[in-house]
């Protein structure tokens, strides 16, 4: 996936350039060609250099959570690092929550943060901060390029770090004096480390577990859920009868007609326990042991039954597809892809808005090769199941539990694949964290349809409160989780950022608006009051 | 300022309560009575307890930058810690940038972050993170209350830390099992350390500098800019002829008719150098040596002339008013407050929109005791000067250079002082970072008028680009700093969050809308296209 062009000739570089331009040409040489940006003064030389390196596309975003979330969405779909440009410590800080999500989902990101020049860094000034300390809890790799001469080598290392399977967050801090220094040449791409397959013993053990006549689930994540990894997982299932599961947080899953169906472990703790209770053996492929998101006074978050055996075929930071390749080779009967369900689109329902009806409309209308971004929270839990037999599509979810990734992910995915329609399923509460993404959708004219399910509440928190309050659903504290007084008006919010929008009150209206939106060429938003 | 009620009787506490309720009663006992919140599941016991402790007001916010910025605004105006409630590491992360601003301005904040229970913390789960490491770069004090028995003592310590003059960021991390544990009693308030006055030698040296016939400036910050501190600064000037200056980032300054005028050091580096070139002596009162925000290839950020003497009468984290008290006592002639300019409101201009006209309208219309929040960026630089002779008011600015504090600050200030109108001056670019604050304004029916100066650009960055690009104002890269294609429509955005809004195209329309807004009882927004 690494660009094969030599860095020095990649973009007809002049004989001498500054660090900023050499940095950008190094990115291009390393195959990094999209940068989501919310820059400031300390990044100005990089911005200035961008006009001399047209091979890298800069996408402006109006808040940093959009920047990092878009880089995540781009990385998930392109399989290539998304790049950011952030302004000093506070700009990085605003982008951290979606970096957290990206890291949990192993998206490859080259996260570039500007820094004051060395003379200025030691002083107490308004924007001074310890950027490395800020970045570290959310990064797999952090380096400050404090010598101009090594800036491009640092950048090449950052790209290789981001590309390390299954994808990492590499934060490169660029002091302004490294960017403005003259006489720097770009660096060629460096190869990331090769993924390591599991040991022969581990593969043999997994094969033996699969041959035993014991209920067994393979729990898949990472690249076991798309492309060759998913095909291999389907073959293993055909050969052994194992069930295919995935933890609730889904980074990228290929779904729909003709593809192996992988069942998602439910969000609600008791439902997840019930799902996993059916099994005595678990083979983990690219995921740690799954737990519930939260533990409660009356119930711990353990999901896997006590009397069971668990084997990690590929660790969470490993290459799941490579591990499945090794496993499939050890199962000689698994050489052919078995039959999978074919497309059976549900018929279009009509009538009043209801959760199952909305899910059926989406499954019926979804175009072939659509990308679905799911942050619909409680309103959207039935949609994924309904889409199992829809046209083939990719499904991107919230990987780290930090709410506010949906619309940014959609931006990144749409830029990675301009020819595929993107359907972004949002809740009103989740959408509000990073609604600034709508402006970038309009500015870049991205092919995104945002559906906002407006239940006027943080409904998840109401459920959680009822849980700890003995089922009390009339507590005055529930008003704290309302998004009422005033209602959010998503049609106005979208129009305020240049995105055309409509509100629907019946399923047929939803179906028409959704079909028009997904087949249009411009971003659009549909508010669905619940 | 500490609540004098005994904690155990403060709110008629029952005999036994859980940690969450004891925590809230400890906050109330310590005088902390407002909590800006964006909670999640891990904070649910605290939310549940809030209905049993009505003495603390919970204010919901739809993004965490609003939470921390509002706590900052509350702290600046109330002189009392604002409190937050944030959800785990990612929720904290979203609030960090405005914590950075709050810390630079020495606002007192008790920053409460929920955490998983101890059993759950060691696991790799979607929302696991190292919260202490995330908090530390932005906090003066950090502690995890990982023993339920010491939770309330930890909270009392956090309040005392936040109250340590001139105000600090105290981050208290509350694991859910400390909140849900039963049988906890609240803790009484603890006294923060007393502020330390400067040494006799330092005061004598400052007095001697002020008596010398050399151009001398006192550079004031913190509580030297309001209340008794500002009165004392005025007396010292009357007695000695020293000039009164303040660094560009202003936390809270009392201004207007009858008050000592303090000149702000300009933002633009060359203008700041010119201002300070007039002096040979500088006495720093509650501020470090001022530097420009940024250093450039052709010019370092040093503002104070090389041939000058600088004395720190009070350090940046000291109590400036206490230091001025000591200094005034050492200057026997300075016992009376001298005469200051009286109110001379400018007449109302009319005609087409222009920067000076807008500034004059604001100065003329500003009601007595208004609170002005300034994040108008390039569009608003003439407003502060114009308001020097307006009705008495407080001026709150951006203290840490992280953009996106304006509307949140206004929320906090309006809650601290429900009887004072708040005027929030915003730019379109700065406003977009935390526009979710508009919803909280509507929900709490806050008396805030937001003016958005819509120049459709990050204009500051255009200036900065011209600076490094030799004055090039036609570069294609400038489009990256445009907020055009599409224009932001602030009237729609405000309405989308329940705030009434209007757009004006002439100065008379602006004056009418502003007067109506500032004298109304509900939040409102005025968009001023430039």
Calculate the alpha carbon distances from A391 to A127, A387, B99, B234 in Å.
Answer: 50, 8, 46, 75
Instruction: Check B488 against A495: CB less than 8 A apart.
Output: no
Q: Quote the strand ranges of A160-285, DSSP E.
A: 169-175, 216-220, 243-246, 253-255, 263-264, 281-285
Which residues of chain A register pLDDT less than 70? Answer: 1-15, 333-345
The dihedral sign for the CA sequence A396, A400, A401, A406: negative
Cβ A397 vs Cβ A251: under 8 Å = yes
Encoded tokens for B157: 């310590």
Q: Where are the domains of chain A?
A: 19-180, 200-334, 355-529
Cβ B249 vs Cβ B398: under 8 Å = yes
Structure confidence by residue, pLDDT tens digits, B433-490: 999 999 999 999 999 999 999 999 999 999 999 988 887 778 888 999 999 889 999 9
* pLDDT band per the 50, 70, 90 thresholds, residue B22: very high
Beta bridge partners of A263: A245
- Chain A residues in contact with B294 by the CB 8 A cut-off are 41-42, 116, 120, 127, 176
pLDDT at B343: 60
- Chain A residues in contact with B503 by the CB 8 A cut-off are none
Task: Classify residue B208 as exposed, middle or buried by CB count within 10 Å of its CB (0-12, 13-18, 19+).
Answer: exposed
pTM of the model: 0.96
Dihedral over alpha carbons A324, A327, A328, A333 (to 10 degrees): -150
pLDDT at B469: 86
The residue among B41, B89, B138 with the most chain A CBs within 10 A of its CB, best to mutate, is B41
Structure confidence by residue, pLDDT tens digits, A316-325: 989 999 999 9
Calculate the alpha carbon distances from B325 to A22, B230, B320 in Å.
Answer: 56, 10, 9
Helix spans in A216-352 (H) = 227-240, 269-276, 320-329
Does A463 lie at the interface with B, CB-CB under 8 angstroms? no
pLDDT at B336: 54
pLDDT at B10: 47
Structure confidence by residue, pLDDT tens digits, B346-375: 789 999 999 999 999 999 999 999 999 999
Shortest Cα–Cα distance, A158 to chain B (Å):
22
Q: For residue A178, what are the contacts with CB-CB under 8 A and spacing of at least 6?
A: A19, A145, A146, A147, A148, A151
Q: For residue B407, what are the contacts with CB-CB under 8 A and spacing of at least 6?
A: B66, B69, B373, B424, B426, B431, B434, B435, B437, B438, B441, B450
- Give the closest of A63, A316, A487 to B433, CB-based: A63
User: Cβ of B278: how many Cβ atoms within 10 Å?
Assistant: 10
Chain A segment 108-127 residues within 8 A of B by beta carbon are: 116-117, 119-120, 123-127
Q: For residue B52, what are the contacts with CB-CB under 8 A and spacing of at least 6?
A: B17, B21, B24
Q: Please determine whether the domains at B17-184 and B200-334 fall in the same fold group of CATH.
A: yes
pLDDT at A380: 80
Cβ A225 vs Cβ A76: under 8 Å = no
Q: Order of strands across the sheet with B393-396?
A: B253-255, B393-396, B370-375, B422-427, B448-454, B524-529, B500-503
DSSP secondary structure letters along A335-363: -S----PPP-PPPPP-SB--HHHHHHHHH
Instruction: Check B120 against A295: CB less than 8 A apart.
Output: yes
Residues of chain B above pLDDT 90, percent: 87
The CATH number of B200-334, from 3.50.50.60, 3.10.20.30, 3.20.20.70, 3.40.50.1220, is 3.40.50.1220
Chain B segment 482-501 residues within 8 A of A by beta carbon are: 483, 485-493, 495-498
Encoded tokens for A425: 């399923």
Q: Which fold has domain B355-529?
A: Rossmann fold (3.40.50)
Q: Nearest CA to A172 among A146, A190, A149? A: A146
Chain B segment 309-348 residues within 8 A of A by beta carbon are: 316
| Of the candidate ranges A478-487, B162-171, B248-257, the one whose mean pLDDT is the lowest | A478-487
**Three-state SS sequence of B22-70:** HHHHHHHHCCCCEEEEECCHHHHHHHHHHCCCCCCEEEECCCHHHHHHH
Q: Order of strands across the sheet with B243-246?
A: B263-264, B243-246, B216-220, B281-285, B309-314
Let me know if domain A19-180 sits in CATH 1.10.260.40.
Answer: no
Cβ B389 vs Cβ B343: under 8 Å = yes
Would you report the helix, strand and coil content of chain A in percent, each value rounded to 5? 40, 20, 40
DSSP secondary structure letters along B275-319: HHHT-SEEEEESS---B-S--BTTB--B-S-SS-EEEEEE-TTS-
pLDDT at A346: 73
| Of the candidate ranges B181-195, B286-300, B323-337, the one whose mean pLDDT is the lowest | B323-337
Q: For residue A265, what are the contacts with CB-CB under 8 A and spacing of at least 6?
A: A219, A245, A246, A247, A248, A272, A275, A276, A290, A303
Do the strands A169-175 and A141-144 form a parallel or antiparallel pair, or are they unpaired?
A: parallel
Angle at B67 between CA B65 and CA B71, to 5 degrees: 115
Residue B342 has pLDDT above 90, yes or no: no
Q: What is the CA radius of gyration of chain A?
A: 24
Cβ A419 vs Cβ A409: under 8 Å = no
- Give the closest of A104, A126, A439 to B126, CB-based: A104
pLDDT at A381: 80
Residue B15 has pLDDT above 90, yes or no: no
Range B57-85 burial, b when 16+ CB lie within 10 A, else e: ebbbbbbbbbbbbbbbbbbbbbbbbbbbb
Range B318-332 burial, b when 16+ CB lie within 10 A, else e: bbbbbbbebbbeebe
Write phi, then psi, for B170 (nearest 5 degrees).
Answer: -110, 115
Chain B segment 197-236 residues within 8 A of A by beta carbon are: none
Calculate the alpha carbon distances from B409 to B78, B422, B446 in Å.
Answer: 12, 10, 12
Cβ A83 vs Cβ A71: under 8 Å = yes
- Chain B residues in contact with A475 by the CB 8 A cut-off are 48, 51
Instruction: Compute the residue count for chain A.
Output: 530
The single-letter DSSP state of residue A368 is T
Does B37 lie at the interface with A, CB-CB under 8 angstroms? yes
* pLDDT band per the 50, 70, 90 thresholds, residue B380: confident
Q: How many CB pairs under 8 A join A and B?
A: 278
Calculate the alpha carbon distances from B489 to A445, A451, A499, B443, B499 in Å.
Answer: 17, 21, 11, 21, 13
* pLDDT band per the 50, 70, 90 thresholds, residue B2: very low
pLDDT at B6: 47
The tally of CA atoms less than 13 A away on the side-chain side of residue B506 is 6
Q: Which fold has domain B17-184?
A: Rossmann fold (3.40.50)
What distance, in Å, lies between the first and last C-alpha atoms of chain B? Answer: 44
Does A42 lie at the interface with B, CB-CB under 8 angstroms? yes
**pLDDT, mean of residues B488-493:** 98
Beta bridge partners of B374: B425
Q: What is the ipTM of this complex?
A: 0.95
- Give the closest of A137, A248, A497 to B488, CB-based: A497
């Amino acid at each position: 996936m690494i660009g094969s062009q030599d860095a020095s000739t990649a973009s007809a570089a002049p004989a001498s350039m500054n660090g900023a331009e050499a940095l950008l040409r190094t990115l291009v040489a390393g195959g990094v060609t999209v940068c989501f940006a919310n820059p400031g003064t300390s990044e100005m030389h990089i911005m200035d250099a961008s006009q001399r390196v047209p091979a890298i596309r800069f996408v402006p975003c109006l808040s940093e959570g959009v920047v990092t979330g878009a880089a995540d969405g781009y990385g998930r779909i392109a399989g290539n690092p998304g790049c950011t440009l952030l302004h000093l410590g506070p700009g990085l800080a605003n982008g951290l929550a979606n970096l957290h999500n990206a890291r949990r989902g192993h998206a490859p990101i080259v996260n570039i943060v500007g820094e004051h020049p060395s003379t200025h860094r030691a002083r107490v000034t308004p924007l001074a901060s310890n950027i490395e300390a800020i970045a570290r809890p959310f990064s797999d790799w952090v380096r400050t390029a404090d010598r101009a001469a090594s800036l491009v080598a640092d950048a090449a290392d950052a790209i290789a770090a981001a590309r390390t399977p299954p994808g990492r967050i590499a934060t490169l801090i660029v002091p302004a004096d490294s960017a403005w220094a003259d006489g720097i040449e770009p660096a060629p791409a460096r190869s990331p480390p090769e993924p390591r397959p599991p040991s022969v013993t581990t593969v043999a053990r997994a094969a033996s577990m699969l041959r035993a006549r014991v209920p067994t689930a393979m729990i898949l994540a990472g690249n076991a859920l798309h492309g060759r990894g998913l095909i291999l997982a389907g073959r293993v299932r055909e050969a052994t009868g194992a069930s295919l599961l995935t933890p609730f947080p889904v980074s990228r899953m290929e779904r729909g007609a003709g593809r192996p169906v992988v069942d998602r472990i439910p969000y609600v703790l008791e439902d997840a326990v019930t799902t996993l209770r059916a099994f005595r053996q678990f083979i983990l492929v690219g995921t740690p042991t799954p737990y519930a998101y939260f533990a409660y006074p009356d119930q711990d978050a353990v999901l896997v039954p006590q009397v069971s055996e668990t084997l990690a075929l590929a660790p969470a930071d490993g290459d799941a597809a490579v591990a499945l390749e090794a496993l499939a080779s050890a199962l000689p009967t698994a050489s052919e892809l078995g039959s999978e369900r074919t497309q059976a689109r549900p018929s279009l329902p009509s009538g009043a808005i209801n959760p199952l009806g909305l899910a059926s409309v989406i499954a019926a209308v979804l175009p072939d090769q659509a990308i679905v971004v799911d942050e619909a929270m409680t309103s959207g839990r039935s949609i994924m199941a309904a889409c199992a037999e829809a046209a083939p599509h990719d499904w991107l979810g919230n990987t780290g539990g930090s709410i506010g990734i949906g619309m940014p992910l959609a931006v990144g995915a749409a830029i990675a694949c301009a020819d595929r329609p993107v359907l972004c399923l949002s809740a009103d509460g989740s959408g509000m964290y990073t609604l600034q993404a709508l402006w970038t959708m309009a500015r870049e004219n991205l092919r995104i349809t945002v559906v906002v399910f407006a239940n006027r509440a943080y409904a998840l928190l109401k459920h959680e409160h009822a849980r700890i309050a003995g089922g009390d659903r009339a507590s005055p504290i529930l008003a704290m989780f309302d998004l009422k007084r005033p209602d959010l008006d998503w049609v106005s919010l979208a129009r305020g950022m240049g995105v055309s929008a409509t509100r629907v009150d019946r399923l047929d209206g939803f179906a028409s608006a959704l079909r028009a939106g997904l087949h249009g060429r411009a971003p659009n938003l549909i508010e669905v009051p619940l």
